[in-house]
Each structure stands twice: as structure tokens, then as C-alpha cells.
């Protein structure tokens, strides 16, 4: 076991180590999107987490430096697509800067202006419930107002700075 609880004293080394350690925890990948002036706007969240059943709440974490979040959060309504293993290219495109994030990506919108990626593993129509400052991010609680699932699409997983797919132990 290699356990060293002592910090190096070098902030950049410690930050890199912490990022690596955070990456050891596998997470799903979600696209958080909405219509703004009739056009889709979106970002990727690898910090999407179910929070509560009653009321139905999920959370995302958003960096304070995000340029997309202020635009997305204006309307208070969002679509969250839990991305499938076939959507790795879509993740990279929606996360990119200075590109048309939705060019060639199939999507649809709800009546509430939430935008959802077609072929995702699951969809959550949400309302922003609260935003809590937490270090260099905000933890944003979203109230779930509608859902749908795509049983045929396995989720995309992010682990150790790589995309992965789940394999059943029975396979």
C-alpha cells in the first residue's frame, strides 16, 4: 500500500496529485443543456449525482470559471442526459470551446426548454433548486420534474482520465 498523507508543499504538485486521486473514482458522464433563444446550449458534467428521492433531486458541480453555466442557468430549467457508451465523441464536442457544440449531434427539447441528447442512457428534466458555493465550484441542486430511460444504452463511465464502458460480471 502506498499511502502518503503528507502534502509536498508545492501547490501545483499537490493539485496534480489530488486530480489523479479524484480520477480514481469512476463517474458517469452527463450533458447539461437547455434552449436559449431557440438554440441549444450545453456543457458536460462528470459530477452528476442522485441526491434525494423525496423530493426528487440530483446535483451537478460547476466551476466558477465556466462561461457556459451563467447562460444555462438563466432560465432555471435544464435537461440532463446521462450519456451512453456510444457518445464519447459527443462528450468531447460538447465540452470543447469555440466550436458548434451541437453540430451533427442528434438532440431534442422538452416543453420546458430542456435539451436532451438522443441515444443517451437516461434523461432528467430539471429545475434549478439551489446553488451552494463549495471551493472553486458551486454545487447545484436540481429538482427532477420528468424522466425517461433508454434500457438498451449502457452508460458511459469516466475513470482515470479515460472513458470506459461497463461490463457485467456475468459476461
- Quick: pLDDT tens for 6-43: 666 777 767 788 778 888 888 899 999 999 999 999 99
Architecture (CATH level 2) of domain 28-147 = Roll (2.30)
Q: Is the pLDDT of residue 4 over 80?
A: no
- Which DSSP category does 149 fall into? E
| Helix (H), strand (E) counts: the chain | 3, 12
Q: How far apart are CA 83 and CA 116, in angstroms?
A: 10
Q: What's the rounded mean pLDDT across residues 146-151?
A: 96
5 confidence band (pLDDT: 50, 70, 90): low
Look at residue 2 and tell me whether its pLDDT is greater than 90: no
- Residue identified by cell 449525482 is 49
Instruction: Note the pLDDT of residue 170.
Output: 73
* C-alpha span between 75 and 62 (Å, rounded): 16
Q: Please tell me the pTM assigned to this model.
A: 0.88
H helix runs in 68-108, sequence order: 69-73, 88-95
DSSP letter, residue 171: -
CA distance 117 to 153: 12
Predicted confidence (pLDDT) per residue in 59-114, tens digit = 999 999 999 999 999 989 999 999 999 999 999 999 999 999 999 999 999 999 99
Section 115-120 average pLDDT? 98
- More confident position, 85 or 168: 85
What pLDDT is stored for residue 3 in this prediction?
A: 63
Amino acid at each position: 500500500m502506498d499511502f502518503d498523507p503528507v502534502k509536498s508543499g508545492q501547490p501545483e504538485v499537490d493539485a496534480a496529485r489530488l486530480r489523479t486521486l479524484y480520477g480514481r473514482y469512476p463517474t458517469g458522464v452527463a450533458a447539461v443543456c437547455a434552449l436559449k433563444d431557440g438554440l441549444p446550449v450545453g456543457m458536460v458534467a462528470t459530477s452528476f449525482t442522485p441526491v434525494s428521492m423525496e423530493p426528487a433531486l440530483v446535483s451537478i458541480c460547476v466551476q466558477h470559471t465556466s462561461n457556459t453555466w451563467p447562460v444555462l442557468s438563466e432560465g432555471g430549467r435544464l435537461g440532463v442526459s446521462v450519456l451512453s457508451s456510444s457518445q464519447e465523441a459527443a462528450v468531447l464536442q460538447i465540452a470543447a470551446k469555440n466550436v458548434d457544440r451541437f453540430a451533427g449531434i442528434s438532440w431534442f427539447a422538452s416543453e420546458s426548454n430542456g435539451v436532451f441528447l438522443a441515444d443517451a442512457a437516461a434523461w432528467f428534466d430539471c429545475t434549478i433548486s439551489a446553488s451552494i458555493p463549495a471551493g472553486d465550484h458551486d454545487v447545484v441542486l436540481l429538482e427532477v420534474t420528468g424522466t425517461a430511460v433508454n434500457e438498451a444504452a449502457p452508460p458511459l463511465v469516466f475513470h482515470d482520465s479515460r472513458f470506459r464502458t461497463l461490463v457485467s460480471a456475468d459476461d
